[in-house]
Structure 1
Amino acid sequence: MTRNFTSSQSDTAARRRAVAMTRTEKVSRTVARMVAKEIADRQLAPGSALEAESEMARRFGVGRASVREGLRLLEAQGLVTVRQGLGGGPIVSEPTGSEFGDTLSMYLQAKGVRFREVAEAALEMEGLAAAMLADRVAAGEDVDLDALAGKQIVPEMTDDEVVDTAVGFHQTLREMSGNYVLTLTGSALAHIYTFRMLEAHPDVWDDEEREGFEGPHQAIHNAIAAGEPERARRLAREHMREVIDRLSALNPRMLDERVDWR
């Protein structure tokens, strides 16, 4: 009888702990949503300091454990950074394409998605970004194309400079499209396939292979500057297709590999 009573007590205590943990989790998600909404409503810039955990707990009427867990949720999504030590505390962060790409990789891995699908989606997004930017130019918007013009590959560049310039061109193109969703999603996809590409073939843009890559960026820039969205879209898609074909030639199996979260 004692053994059964003790077991019953243990089960009851376990259930209570489980309920308490569930309640804390729900409260922490509510805290996370409220903090995220405040950041948006107050238009807080990255680097802005937020209230201390104790102040948030008092204002929201919850325990500090719930606030701490809520901030962890936001930190995992790249919205907040919690600094430790004297003068530390939560500050506003800005999610990057690479952070979003890391999170997206988890979901893609769970679904068994292959790199080919990522590359194909990225191809369409690059074309869309180029077309949207050309539309902005055609509509007479004040667009500074010098930032894009400065991202051109030239023969004397080192391999690292070629990579930085190529990645920078496409990142600038997405940012100038005027659509943040496209910028963030496209950058996340680019992070996934670029990381895998350079991991497998760090010399993908060596001296012999880069010759065909010096002109496409300039051609895309010219189409955008002329305010021709369909030509810009076509050239951007063709350029991305050429990159995908090059990867296939270097490693025929790579595009059929499954995305893995690292």
Structure 2
Amino acid sequence: MSSLSSPTASRGAGIQQVRVAETVAAELRRRILRGDFPDGALPKQDQLREEYGISHPSLREALRILETEGLVVVRRGNVGGAIVQQPGEARFGYTLGLALQSTGIRVHELATAVATLEPVCARLCAENPKRGKEIVPRLRAILDTARGEEDANGVPFTRAARSFHTAVVDLCGNEPTKMIVGGLVALWDAQEEAWAQDLTAEGAYPDHDRRVATTNAHSKLVDLIEAGDGLGAEDFSRRHIRSTQKVILSRIEDRVIQASSVRSNILGSQQNGR
């Protein structure tokens, strides 16, 4: 029996393959996070193997590492390849949701976190000296779109209204806050959308007047942000969020958080090219 077929040699080869895969995964991770693949896909596997001088099993293991981290999705078949997935609030929300779901955290606990932290983003928007040029116009544009959905019943309006909350977080100007609070908001979005689906199926979704009241509240928040009233924006945002959550929690507060709905939203965004 040759030394290459001995158990010790096999283990050594396996360890070496893992080390090579981890090295290549680390390099590809850096390139993904640096934005080196603007077309949204890694090079073909043959090209990667030639570039890094590695075997097919080592490359496959490297891609598996990145897929586990959520940075790529490997598609098989004739149109296969590794599709890049930039990390963001929604993906963080999904990972966070899995952790919270595994410990049995209830929806009302998530609601408290959102009502505590999202208003800080409203204050940061109001305190931003560039709010007049970079924040308020974008919020008003999103608000106009939401107003166009006031006659829509159920999930379409909920999605339009939730996009405003997402924008307030996205525009807060502090990247760590944006990521952390955005993850919580993405997770809450999914719970609220599930609520909207349930009520729509029962014909019990909130009426037109309540939908108008929601967009009016968002408009008031934009006015406070535009005026530079940080504390006022934070206080109003918190009261509005709690008021909205009260309606939703009356039905689902005892549910355990479901992370799968966040994943569905991510996949839907990918399919729509967003």
Partner of 2:268: none
Deviation at 1:226?
Answer: 1.1
Is contact 1:47-1:91 (8 Å) kept?
A: no
Aligned to 1:54: 46
Aligned equivalents of 1:163 and 1:198: distance in 2? Answer: 7
- State whether residues 100 and 257 of structure 2, in contact with CA within 8 Å, keep that contact through their aligned partners in structure 1: yes
Point out the structure with max Rg over C-alpha: 1
Write the distance in 2 (CA, Å) between the matches of 1:81 and 1:46.
15
User: Aligned with 1:166: secondary structure?
Assistant: helix
1:177 matches 2:178? no
8 Å Cα contact 1:80/1:92 also seen in 2: yes
* Percent identical: 24
Question: What is the TM-score normalised by the length of structure 1?
Answer: 0.76
Give the equivalent residue in structure 2 for 1:3.
none
Q: Which residue matches 1:214?
A: 215
The separation in 2 between residues aligned to 1:79 and 1:35, in whole angstroms, is 10
Q: Is the 8 A contact 2:187 2:259 kept in 1?
A: no
8 Å contact from structure 2 (residues 49, 59) kept in 1: yes
Deviations 1:199-225 (A, max 9, x none): 244337521643542321011111111
> Against the structure 1 CA distance between its residues 26 and 217, is the aligned structure 2 distance closer, same or farther, given a 3 Å change threshold?
farther
Shift of 1:198: 3.0
Superposition deviation, residue 245 in structure 1: 1.4
Higher alpha-carbon deviation: 193-202 or 112-121: 193-202
- Flag structure 1 segments of 5+ consecutive residues without an equivalent: 1-11
Higher helix share: 2
How far the C-alpha of 1:35 sits from its partner, in A, is 0.7
Secondary structure in structure 2 of the residue aligned to 1:82:
strand
Q: State the 1:102 CA deviation.
A: 2.3
| Distance in 2, Cα, partners of 1:209 & 1:23 | 62
Query: Does the alignment pair 1:147 with 2:138?
Result: yes
1:1-262 pair list within 5 angstroms: 24-25=17-18, 27-41=20-34, 43-44=35-36, 46-86=38-78, 88-136=80-128, 138=129, 142-152=133-143, 153-154=146-147, 155-202=150-197, 203=199, 205-207=205-207, 209-249=210-250, 251=251, 254-262=252-260
Number of positions where the alignment pairs a residue of Structure 1 with one of Structure 2: 245
SS in structure 1 of the partner of residue 134 of structure 2: coil
Give the direction of change, closer, same or farther, for the CA distance of 1:143–1:53 in structure 2 (3 Å limit): same
Change (3 A) 1:73 1:185: farther
- Return the alpha-carbon distance in structure 2 between the equivalents of residues 17 and 118 of structure 1: 49
Please say if residues 110 and 184 of structure 2, whose CA atoms lie closer than 8 Å, have aligned partners that are also in contact. Answer: yes
Task: Give me the whole-angstrom Cα distance separating, in 2, the residues matched to 1:19 and 1:205.
Answer: 62
Report what 2:3 is aligned to.
none
1:26-82: per-residue Cα shift (whole Å, max 9, x none)?
5434332221112334x3254244333334334444432232232233234442343
The answer to whether the Cα contact below 8 Å between 2:159 and 2:193 also exists between their aligned partners in 1 is no
Over residues 79-100 of structure 1, what are the superposed CA-to-partner deviations in whole Å (9 max), with x where a residue is unaligned?
A: 2343444565334332343333
1:32 is aligned with what amino acid?
Answer: A
Q: What secondary structure, in the 3-state scheme, does the structure 1 residue paired with 2:74 have?
A: strand
Alpha-carbon RMSD? 3.2
Cα distance change, pair 241–36 in 1 and its aligned pair in 2 (3 A):
same
Q: In structure 2, do the counterparts of structure 1 residues 118 and 63 end up closer, same or farther at CA, with 3 Å as the change threshold?
A: farther
